[in-house]
Chains A and B, each alone.
Chain A
Amino acid sequence: MPSAREMWRMAESSNSVVIQGLTKRFGRFVAVNHINLEVRAGEVFGFLGPNGAGKSTTIRMLCGLLRPTEGSANVAGFDVAQKPEMVRQNIGYMSQKFSLYNDLRVIENIRLFAGLYSVPAGQLQSRIDWVLEMANLKGQERLITATLPGGWKQRLALGCAVLHKPPILFLDEPTSGVDPIARRQFWELIHQMADEGVTVFVTTHYMEEAEYCNRLALIFRGAIVALGSPSELKQNSIRGDLLLVECTPLGEALEILQSVPGVIDAAVFGNALHLVVENAQTAPAQVRSSLAQRKVAVQRIERIRPSLEDVFVALTTIKGAERAA
């Protein structure tokens, strides 16, 4: 008969991370405000938000680096506040800043972390080989880490974080400061791991990276404002339809359109405007006439499918307006 504790853990096992009412306050500043979240095993879960939204604070609480002020978080079946050591044995963590020892050789860094994670002696050599293989560092073991290019360092950091085969991997803006090709290779690696059953919890503020995730949580000012798969978010988060308007001059057009009835929101995207409108059938004519009155030249109006960036802008402006009101 399994004990009640084991039963509970088994029930939890389909969820790798369970967060309930998690809150972190620094003095009077609320960095993370009562968030609830469940991350399923084997999922690549994205935590998306602007800088300072509370992404890193959340991830650091989940890794047991920060104590929650309120609420609870359960990672790999262990409470982060009560059993931080057990949590740590079951997770890999990679911070946004490269944080291996630059003055050690590649192999010395690997051996150090293998030792810290108590990788059994019998598995040590095969794990080391695996990391070198994955990071493409075979034959470079003796190099001083500081001399490696950015993309290699990052793969080495990932390797050191998963030496002990953790079921959950936390990545805090893992691709900041890495070139696009290395970034792509990195995401391929992440998906490989997810295919092997590893749960990946990743924070980012790159929209194109968010598309790589199975599910996303959008965090803004410490609170989760949207949750779902990228396509769900795109479908459900925007009330109304999206129009692309190419016109000149843009600035003037933006000003005019914000007061046109039927237009919910307007924002500049590249060299065009994105309008959220109540009705995509009737709005183009209205927009054309309003702009023509003020002598703004319109090149093109087209209904488009929203990107994650549209979702992001829409949700954060609504929340921003709510707060201001």
Chain B
Amino acid sequence: MLARMKQMMKKEFIQVLRDKRTRFILIIPPIVQMLVFGYAANFEVHHVPTVVLDYDHSQESRDLLSHFTASSYFSVQPPAVDATQLHAVIERGGAAVGIEIDAGFARALRKGQPAPLQVIVDATNSNSALIAAGYVSQIANGFAQQYQRERMARIAPQWVAILPSVDLASRPWYNPDLLSRWFFVPGIVGSLTLVLVITLTAFAVVREREIGTLEQIMVTPIRPAEFILSKTLPFFLIGLFDVSLIAVVGSLWFQVHFRGHISVLVLGAVLFLLCMLGVGLLISTVSATQQQAMVTSFFFIMPAITFSGFGFPISTMPYWLQLMTYASPLRYFLVVLRGSYLKGVGMEVLWPEMAAMAALGLGLLTVAILRFHKSLD
């Protein structure tokens, strides 16, 4: 039994490693994708093109606008001359934020009345619009507070000291600089592994079915379970190699510090790979050709990533959809990845995820082996 499996695995490695293209596919695209996705997957809002319209032409209005110019969140474009032009710039995408200061802004401030400031945000992308609007109000509030203090200092300097204020001290744990890259890089490690291992496994088995070698193998005394194990074990090792490759490249290049224990991450990767091999094999049992395997993988991969919490937080999904996320192995692996990368937590926190992946993986592999038996008929 072991001798048979050894021969099969040897053959699998020869096939994978002899082919130049396969060798290339295993190393270069994962690295390139890690780098490209690492730059692309980003929620941060920086240098938002901003157009301003100042009808007030006062010292105060210029002062307020200078706060925007100084901020790295906004990139202030040449000012508009009237409202029509401002709207036109936003409409054609030349700016995502428009700030309009009406005449009388400074007069209202000096009288101590509310001074109106109109902000138009291009909310096509509601998420970045929300963030940009937040920055605008932060700057406007900062300006207002500073203006108050300065006026108070002139009128009643003795009261400045007792002016009430809240001193906010927010401490972003695990990601002190609030870099969204730190959130995404571990996620990319998981989703790249998912795509790679599922497609490799599914294709490897379906290819044998398609060219007829599967039949020739199945008339030898090898048992279906032996065949499946020796077919998947090489891809398990290749998957493990690729996870490590992507993880190392990602952490070094994007300087995401790994705080946890490497053993926790490895255990998580092993369990996750079990699930992926199971899925790949399942796909291969329902596909007669490589083309079918490709389409079927696609239908699994898209939802598996969407429901994993890779990009969209699971907590904001409707309840019934949240239940579905429990079926995506990536969901658990992402918790393990982010937990061990950023939080540095270990088994004491991550054991439920590990257990879930182990159960899912064993279940998927069992079903895959049973289905494989049937698919031979």
Contacts and interface: CB of A to CB of B under 8 A. Distances in A.
A118 B11 CA distance: 16
A108 B11 CA distance: 8
A111 B6 CA distance: 11
B219 A108 contact: no
Contacts of B11: 101, 104, 108, 112
B220 interface: yes
The 10 closest A-B pairs by CB, nearest first: A115-B7, A99-B212, A116-B220, A99-B216, A93-B219, A97-B212, A89-B221, A88-B221, A63-B219, A99-B213
Interface stretch (A9-17, A64-72, A245-253): A64-72
Nearest to B5: A115
A111 B3 CA distance: 11
Contact of A65 (B4, B15, B218, B222): B218
Nearest to B7: A115
Contact of B15 (A89, A99, A104, A111): A104
Contact of A113 (B3, B18, B211, B220): B220
A249 B40 CA distance: 78
Contacts of A102: 211
Contact of B7 (A97, A99, A100, A112): A112
Contact of B215 (A91, A99, A103): A99
B5 to A, nearest CB: 9
A163 to B, nearest CB: 10
A117 B218 contact: no
B377 A115 contact: no
Interface residues of A, number: 28
A99 to B, nearest CB: 4
A95 B217 CA distance: 11
A6 interface: no
A277 B10 CA distance: 64
Interface string A57-95: 000000111110000000000000000010011010101
Nearest to B212: A99
Interface residues of B, number: 25
Contact of B3 (A66, A100, A115): A115
Contact of A101 (B4, B213, B376): B213
Contact of A116 (B4, B15, B19, B212): B4
Interface of B: 3-4, 6-8, 10-11, 14-15, 18-19, 211-213, 215-223, 376-377
A116 B7 contact: yes
B69 to A, nearest CB: 63
The A contact surface, by secondary structure, is loop
A118 B377 contact: no
A115 B6 contact: yes
A93 B214 CA distance: 13
Given A101-B213, A104-B14, 5 more contacts: A88-B220, A93-B216, A95-B212, A113-B220, A116-B8
Contacts of A113: 220
Contacts of B223: 85
Given A104-B14, A111-B7, A116-B4, A95 B215 contact: yes
A88 B223 CA distance: 10
Residue of B14, B212, B219 most packed against chain A (CB within 10 A): B219
B129 to A, nearest CB: 54
A91 B10 CA distance: 24
Given A88-B220, A93-B219, A118-B3, A67 B212 contact: no
Contacts of B212: 95, 97-99
Nearest to A170: B219
A114 B212 CA distance: 19
A67 B377 contact: yes
B132 to A, nearest CB: 55
Residue of B14, B215, B216 most packed against chain A (CB within 10 A): B216
A118 B215 contact: no
23 contacts: A63-B219, A65-B218, A67-B377, A85-B221, A88-B219, A88-B221, A98-B212, A99-B215, A100-B213, A101-B11, A103-B18, A104-B14, A112-B8, A112-B10, A112-B11, A115-B8, A116-B4, A116-B8, A116-B217, A116-B220, A116-B222, A118-B3, A118-B221
